[in-house]
Each structure stands twice: as structure tokens, then as C-alpha cells.
Amino acid sequence: MNLAVVRNIGSGSVLRTSEDTASFEQEIIDQYALAMAAAGLTDGYVSNCRRVIFQFAEPLKGPLWTASCEDGDRFLSEQRRAGRTASTRSTKAVMLAQFYDFVIARYQGDVAALTGSVITQPIDEFNRPPGVSGSRVRVPPSDADIDTLFAAWRASLVDARKYRPAARDYFAASLWRRLGLRINETVMLDLRDWRPDLGAFGKLHVRFGKGSRGRGPKARLVPAINGTADLIDWWLGDVRHQFGNDWADPDAPMLPSERHDPVSTRCQRVGAEALRQGLARQTASCLPSWSPRLTPHVLRHYCASSLYAAGMDLKALQELLGHEWLSTTTGYIHVQKDHIEAAWVEANRSAEERLSTGR
């Protein structure tokens, strides 16, 4: 990522030429990039933010500090007409809003002194697209549907045309179902990441957890609850060694492909798309009513919902799923249809017991 040389913005008293204005505008953008880098955001995220800012600025009639809510309306409308998904539009809106929050907080005085302009936030509560979690609810299948799928899937492994990849895909999907791992977290597991010596169940060292707002990987230890310890014992004891002689190499991938590295002879890492396709094939075969709606992320929602229904509290679920905010975890909880009715019955039963004891 290349940045322009940044001068002291407060040093100038007036912007005399168009070149001065363009230079001042560029310096503000570069200052924002430096602030994001200081906050630990990745180069990729910083580059994407800069790209969105330039895309927004291109059709403006004046510099960035002259943008209005109407310009925000125009930009987001163009994104919608261009066929951008709700997720993409929301991400771009958040990037622009954060940039203008930065400019208003740090450089409102400089802009006013140099240009006489008052900066406004072009992305407000009226034109900001709803987040994905608010516009798309991933309600998972029922317990009975999940049990049907995985029972049939496990039974089909014996007759699979290619046993090794079939067993690998089943193992990966079982991690999504039981622990709620993200697909990239699953792909990036190495053999060394299974630590049976930690805790009562053993733990998986998830080294490539998702960092918030583009930050780098956020590692966490995930206990092998919900039957996962037995699942890993089956995978490592019965299947993994069939892929190659790297089964004892701690740096070898936990989920390998059938290809080998020509130099190290170690198994190559399976790709995320291969695991997605494995789930899609089995869903179409064993649970066609959910094809193609059942995805790795829907299984992550299922894991959260099923563990919550079994009594796990929200804070523990937050740590298990690797969420920074508890509000994100609550969006993953989808209770059964009779949840309210059951709570009502329990409340009335408790009230009756208290009245009866009081008499």
C-alpha cells in the first residue's frame, strides 16, 4: 500500500489553487489510511476503503468535504441500480460513514479555516442500507432435519465412490454443526491445532478466526464439546492417515486435498469451495427440501440455536463462535416456534407453586 507524503494540514492558511485543494483532499484520505493502519486494520481493508472513497468522490462537483446527504443518496442508488448486493452496499456505506466521522472529528476546524465549509455526514440513518443480519435471517433446519441429513450422510460413506474426500466433507460439516466454525477457520486448521490435553474435552486452536472490521486473524481456543472429541478421534484414527504419510506432521493440514505438494510431499490443503460442494451434494441427496438453502453458515446458525436451546448461555456462545459483540451472537439464535408458549407455561407453573407455598 503506497501513501503520499503527508504534510501538516494545519500549516496552510488558504487553498489558492485547484492543485492546493486536490493536495489537501489527498492528504486527508492518506491521514485516514494511516489511522486505520494504526488501528491494526489490514492493508486489504485499507485499500478497499480508499477505493470506495475515490469511487464516491469521482462524480462530486466539489471536494470531499462539500458532499451532502443528496450525494450519499445518489451514490447508494447507483450501487443498487448496478446490481450490487445488500451486503456490498451496506459495507460501502459503512466505509464512507466511518471516513466522514473521522474527517468531522479530526479536521472540521482545518476545513472550516481553509475553505469556509462545514462538513456534513452524507451517510445518515435515512439512506444507510440495513445490515445483512437485519435484512436476511438464516433460520436453520430443525433438529430432526439435521439428524436425518447427518445420519444418512454417515451411512453413505461406506459405499462412497471416493471414501476419503467423502469422509473429509462429512467431518468438516460436522464441525460446522457441532462447534459453529466458519468455513475458512475449518480449512486453515492444522494437525497441531488439536489439543486433547487442554480441558475436559480437549480444544481446537482456531488460529484464523475472523477479525472485526478487516483486522487480522483473531485466534481462539474452542473446546471439543457436543460430541466433537469423538468425531476428531474418528477422523484422526481412521481416516486422516489414508491421505498420505504426513499424518504425523504437526504442520500438515487437518483437512487435506488428495493432491500433494511436489517439494514437501505434504498433502495440500482442501479448498473452501470443495467443502461447500460436498455439503451441497449431500443435502440434495439426503435432505432435498433444504437444497440449496443449507450452507456452511446456516449450519453455524444451527449450532448456535441448538446449543442455546440446550441451555448454553449467550456469553459462552459468543466465545465459542468468536464474536466480538454479544449483539452479533443474539442474531444467530433462532428458537423453536413453541419457545414463547413454553416460557408462558413455565412462568404460570412457577407462579402457581409460589402461591401454593404461600398458603
pLDDT over 80 at 97, yes or no: yes
Q: Which candidate in 50, 300, 302, 308 is catalytic? A: 300
Q: Which residue has the cell 446490481?
A: 83
Determine the Cα–Cα distance for residues 250 and 182; give it in Å rounded to an integer: 22
Q: Is 182 a catalytic residue?
A: yes
Q: Which candidate in 207, 266, 281, 297 is catalytic? A: 297
With beta carbons less than 8 A apart as the criterion, state whether 149 and 283 touch: yes
CATH number of 143-339: 1.10.443.10
Residue 205 backbone phi and psi in degrees, to 5: -90, 100
Instruction: Provide the grid cell at 164.
Output: 476419503
Q: Is 323 a catalytic residue?
A: yes
Determine the Cα–Cα distance for residues 193 and 209; give it in Å rounded to an integer: 13
> Per-residue pLDDT tens for 31-70?
999 988 888 788 888 899 999 999 999 999 999 999 999 9
Q: Which residue has the cell 476503503?
A: 49
> Per-residue pLDDT tens for 225-258?
999 999 999 999 999 999 999 999 999 999 999 9
- Pairing, β 203-206 against β 194-195: antiparallel
With beta carbons less than 8 A apart as the criterion, state whether 119 and 97 touch: no
Residue 239 backbone phi and psi in degrees, to 5: -120, -50
Domain-by-domain residue ranges, the chain? 9-134, 143-339
Q: Is 241 a catalytic residue?
A: no
Confidence tier at 267 by pLDDT (50, 70, 90)? very high
Query: What sign for the dihedral angle of Cα 59, 60, 65, 68?
Result: negative
With beta carbons less than 8 A apart as the criterion, state whether 60 and 67 touch: yes
Q: Which candidate in 177, 182, 203, 269 is catalytic? A: 182
Q: Which candidate in 32, 45, 107, 332 is catalytic? A: 332
Q: Is 297 a catalytic residue?
A: yes
> Per-residue pLDDT tens for 276-325?
999 999 999 999 999 888 999 999 999 999 999 898 999 999 999 998 88
β-bridge mates for residue 206, sequence order: 220
pLDDT over 80 at 4, yes or no: no
Determine the Cα–Cα distance for residues 250 and 326; give it in Å rounded to an integer: 34
Q: Which candidate in 210, 215, 218, 281 is catalytic? A: 210
Nearest C-alpha neighbor of 326 from the set 345, 338, 313 = 313
Assessment of whether the complete model's pTM goes beyond 0.85:
no
The answer for residues whose C-beta is within 8 angstroms of residue 295's C-beta and 6 or more apart is 276, 279
Distances (CA, A) of 108 to 65, 80, 192: 9, 30, 51
